[in-house]
């Protein structure tokens, strides 16, 4: 989960100021956590404690009202609605990574990912995006190769992962749909050689940078098991005590193997 959060914080500076390069400062005085982090931690809290996920999302918006959320989501949350709004956006995919660690089989991953998505994103594309990310993270954490991850996601979800970043980058633009952002985030991971590289690749697409780096970071954490110490410490310093507490409890409860700080 911390990989997703690091990706979110790194990408936060570039969501509205897109770049088409992998050369940029990872953290700056403008770096911050966004709704991706808030809702990822909310899903972890739900997996730890149970209860209606919609109510947990509502409480998170009350706790972090200054974070910019999606327009439909924030309206839904402020109205304390409990019915989904048929979204096909990547909000379901950005928050789902904890599911991959709280599941012991692909069937469990698929079921939990669907449940985490459909509280808001009950459109088939919103559910598919969440399931694809959760399955990819699960495969990465259980020792699958890049080729095996690519094959499974392609076959199961019909995402086109045969493109390259060089193919995508020139014409790519901001896209909040699952179909238009999740596959590209996965390609950013597949072309990487380290944790930092996956996040840099995702940001360099010039799209929905925080969410795409969040997804790529979640995959990279699960696959590489190494996170740069300076990056980890810089991001953790931006989180409040409540967030850090949920993260620590989640990693302890589900016996996550510790990643190495390098």
Q: Tokens 């940029």: give the residue.
A: 24
Q: What are the pLDDT digits (tens) for 167-217?
A: 999 999 999 999 999 999 999 999 999 999 999 999 999 999 999 999 999
| Cβ-contact 13, 30 below 8 angstroms | yes
pLDDT at 131: 98
Model confidence at 257, pLDDT cuts 50, 70, 90, reads low
Q: What is the DSSP letter of 192?
A: -
Residue 145 pLDDT exceeds 80: yes
Q: Tokens 């409890």: give the residue.
A: 249
pLDDT at 1: 86
pLDDT at 159: 98
pLDDT at 254: 86
Phi first, then psi, for residue 89 (nearest 5°) are -80, 170
Query: Which two tokens mark 259?
Result: 């990643």
How high is the mean pLDDT of the chain? 95
Question: SS3 string of 45-80?
Answer: HHHHHCCCHHHHHHHHHHHCCCCCCCHHHHHHHHCC
| Segment 7-14 mean pLDDT | 97
pLDDT at 259: 66
Residue 30 pLDDT exceeds 80: yes
Residue 46 pLDDT exceeds 80: yes
pTM of the full predicted structure? Answer: 0.97
H or E stretch at 25: none
Residue 89 pairs in a beta bridge with 177
| Interatomic CA distance for residues 243 and 241, integer angstroms | 6
**Per-domain boundaries in the chain:** 2-22+32-257
Model confidence at 262, pLDDT cuts 50, 70, 90, reads confident
Of 3.40.710.10, 3.90.1170.50, 3.90.1150.10, 1.10.4080.10, the CATH number of 2-22+32-257 is 1.10.4080.10
Q: What are the pLDDT digits (tens) for 83-136?
A: 999 999 999 999 999 999 999 999 999 999 999 999 999 999 999 999 999 999
H or E stretch at 31: none
């Amino acid at each position: 989960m911390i990989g997703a959060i690091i990706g979110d914080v790194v990408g936060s500076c570039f969501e509205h100021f897109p770049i088409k390069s992998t050369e940029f400062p990872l953290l700056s005085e403008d770096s911050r956590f966004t709704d991706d982090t808030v809702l990822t931690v909310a899903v972890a809290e739900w997996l730890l404690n149970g209860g209606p996920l919609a109510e947990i999302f509502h409480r998170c918006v009350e706790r972090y009202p200054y974070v910019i959320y999606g327009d439909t989501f924030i309206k839904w949350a402020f109205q304390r609605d409990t019915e989904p709004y048929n979204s096909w956006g990547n909000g379901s995919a950005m928050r789902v990574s904890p599911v991959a660690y709280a599941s012991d089989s692909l069937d469990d991953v698929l079921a939990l990912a669907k449940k985490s998505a459909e509280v808001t994103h009950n459109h088939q594309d919103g559910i598919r995006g969440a399931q694809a990310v959760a399955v990819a993270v699960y495969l990465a954490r259980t020792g699958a190769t890049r080729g095996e991850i690519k094959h499974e996601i392609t076959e199961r979800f019909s995402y086109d992962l045969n493109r390259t970043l060089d193919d995508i980058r020139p014409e790519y633009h901001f896209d909040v749909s699952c179909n238009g952002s999740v596959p590209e985030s996965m390609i950013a991971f597949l072309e990487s050689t380290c944790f930092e590289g996956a996040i840099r690749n995702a940001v360099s697409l010039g799209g929905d940078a925080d969410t795409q780096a969040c997804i790529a970071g979640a995959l990279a954490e699960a696959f590489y098991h190494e996170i740069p110490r300076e990056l980890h410490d810089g991001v953790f310093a931006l989180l409040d005590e409540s967030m850090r507490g949920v993260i620590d409890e989640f990693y302890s409860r589900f016996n996550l193997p510790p990643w190495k700080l390098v």
